[in-house]
Amino acid sequence: MSLGGIALATDFALLIVAAAVLSYAARLTKQPTIVAYVLTGVVVGPIGLGIVAEDQLIEIVAELGLGFLLFLLGIEMRFDDIREIMRPVGAIALGQAVLQAIASTGVALLLGFTLYQSLMIALATTFGATPIIVKVLGDKDDLKELYGKVDVGILIFQDIYLVMALAILSVGAVDNVGEIAFSIGRVLLLMGVIGVVAYLASNYLLPALLRASAANKSTLFTVGIAWAFLFIFAAESLDLSIEIGAFLAGLALAQLPYSTELKERMRPATNFFIAIFFASIALQMEVDQLLAYWQEAIAAAFLLIVINFFIVFGLFYSQRFDIETSFLGTISMLQVSEFSLVLGALAVDQGFIDEGILGFLSLMALITMPISTYYVIYNRQIYAFVRPYLERLEREDTVEAQPVEYADHAVIIGYSRLSSELAAVLEDDVDEIVFVEDRAEYVGELMNAEHGFIFGNARHGDIRQEANLSGAEVLVSVAQRADVNLRLVEDSPDTLSIVTATTEDEAAVLLENGADYVVLERGIVGDELANLLETIDDREAFERRLEELNARARDRSQRADETLDLGREDIHYDAGDGGESSGSCRSDDADTTGGDTDV
């Protein structure tokens, strides 16, 4: 390897190591990893230690990182989640975009920026921090709450504005109004063409392609990456920004049942590229550029938090949401998001603003994102404190929305030919049955069934969250992995949980960690588990029957071990046939129909 290649590899390695260390520190302090990524560039770049510069390799990977950030944004955009509250959400999103832009422009002018700079600052600070908000609310299990659904809906609208803004900025600086109009019209037309292709593919090509790929998880990952790169290549070929192509690629996948599992499979790779992108923003700046407007950044950050609170709260209230929903939904939306850095970096590349304005936006983001994380985490405690002052605003006839996600339901992890019998047994006790399965051969059957279906691996947090596992009435898991069953039990402390185990030790661990019942025998996952569940309303009969089955399992396991020992003693070797050995071992439990699901 040449000296130049070694230097590139060294810079890249230092950047990755620093990002890993700071990401771990961010996790310990409950901070968004995006803050850690930006600080990585600050620490190792020209602002800090000066040991890493933005070279060609980092620049290329960073550009792909921006593309994958928009890809993840698209794959999160599921319109079914907000369909029933679309009208009030759209009104809030539109009002917030207009009023916050006016407020941001006014604050920037007040702080001494020119009108042009103020308009660019307003454009960059209008958007919410979609990945951060969704992650924090998801960790709190609040995405299923009304305020969480409204916030997600607002973010979807803002993400559409963001893509439009990126498209406009990608045109670059032009000389006259006619050229501007022509360039923007061309970009929007090409976006429409790619969007139509993405829509047709989502309806006619992708379902079959992903169904075939889902049988092999590595293939599913490869198809997802290839799909993103296909649209990135198409956008690049049409002289569009790669972010637009990546966003539309993700949007095409978002409406399919494979989207959650695919997102989880791709997350490590996409996070790698995204980390490089945000670190590269700081690598572009010198310390004097970052601190050029540090006083203005501090003042603007706190002024906009206060002003935007009243804007967003007023918009929530105007759409007849109750006071608690209005307050909780508002304080999730007050930070300067990572997309202000995205827009700022693109504006610098296109010559709209200088690095000093990018430094101003970076400081605002680094101030508001860490603060906002804590007041979102403790939002209910804050609301309890201010509630006496807000109660006088409470009124009747407020907006109510039925949850899109599952409620009063049972979750069955793993599918077999007899799982429908399990569902039939549970139908009288719950409102809905939800199957979680990641084997492709069952996708068609489950999608056409009358019960809910989520394609994916239950070890992924997003899959468990989508199934609303913590809110389920009953959990039945036929997964054979002890770590998966343990995570399921830990995530559903108030749920009646029935899980399988293959050894006494596994069963003991599951019971110690909150499992209500543990079945020790794989063979009873079929008819006998269905018969067992029929006694669920009579707890004494249920426990008595379960103990009988487990006792039988122990006895069979002991007999199988004895048979294996005898078989070993009977093994003989015949020197005349080349030393081949013979022996056999058979257990009554050999039939494991329905119980070998690897979830």
Strand 517-519 and strand 496-500: pairing?
A: parallel
Q: Tell me the H-state helices in 140-258.
A: 146-170, 177-200, 206-213, 217-237, 242-254
Give the pLDDT score at 468: 83
**Mean pLDDT across 174-186:** 66
C-alpha to C-alpha distances, 343 to 115, 334, 370, 460, nearest whole angstrom: 18, 18, 20, 32
End-to-end CA distance of the chain: 44
Mean pLDDT rounded to a whole number for the chain = 77
pLDDT tens-digit readout, 406-434: 777 888 888 765 566 677 777 777 888 88
- The CATH number that domain 3-393 falls under is 1.20.1530.20
Q: What is the pLDDT, as a whole number, of residue 104?
A: 92
Asked whether residue 116 carries a pLDDT value surpassing 60, the answer given is yes
Write down the CATH number for the domain with range 409-553: 3.40.50.720
> How does DSSP assign 71-95, residue by residue?
HHHHHT--GGGGGGGHHHHHHHHHH
**Average pLDDT score over residue span 123-127:** 84
pLDDT of 584 above 60: no
> Would the pTM of this model clear 0.85, i.e. be above it?
no
Inter-helix orientation angle 146-170/242-254, to 10°: 150
* 87 or 25, higher pLDDT: 25
Reference 361, options 276, 281, 241; nearest CA is: 281
Residue 557 CB burial class (10 angstroms; 0-12, 13-18, ≥19): middle
pLDDT tens string 17-36: 888 899 888 888 878 788 88
Residue 82 has pLDDT above 70, yes or no: no
H-run or E-run covering 58 = helix 56-75
Report angle CA 143, 146, 149 to the nearest 5 degrees.
50
**DSSP 8-state symbol, 331:** H
222-261 per-position pLDDT tens digit = 888 888 888 888 888 887 778 788 888 888 888 787 888 8
Task: Please report how many Cα atoms fall inside a 13 Å half-sphere around the Cα of residue 404, on the Cβ side.
Answer: 21
Pairing of strands 474-477, 452-455: unpaired
Query: What are the tens digits of pLDDT across the range 486-503?
Result: 888 888 888 888 888 888
For the chain, give the percent of residues with pLDDT over 70. Answer: 78
Query: Is residue 228 a contact partner of residue 246, using CB atoms and an 8 Å limit?
Result: yes
Please answer whether residues 72 and 136 qualify as being in contact, where contact means their C-beta atoms are separated by less than 8 angstroms: no
Number of alpha helices (DSSP H) and beta strands (DSSP E) in the chain: 25, 8
Q: Per this entry, what is the length of the chain? A: 599
List residues bridging with 500 in a β-sheet.
519
Q: CA–CA separation, 122 vs 98, rounded Å?
A: 10
User: Is residue 351 over pLDDT 50?
Assistant: yes
Which residue ranges make up each domain of the chain? 3-393, 409-553
Q: Which has more confidence, 188 or 304?
A: 304
- Give the pairing of strands 517-519 and 432-437: unpaired
* Phi-psi region at 591: left, alpha or beta (left = phi > 0; alpha = psi -120 to 50): beta
The predicted pLDDT at position 256 comes to 81
The answer to whether residues 132 and 335 touch, using CB atoms and an 8 Å cutoff, is yes
Cα radius of gyration rounded to whole Å, the chain? 28
Q: How confident is the model at residue 179, as a pLDDT? A: 65
The winner for highest mean pLDDT among 56-60, 164-168, 309-313, 371-375 is 309-313
- Model pLDDT, residue 307: 92
**What does the H/E/C string look like for 480-506?**
CCHHHHHHHHHCCCCCEEEEECCCHHH
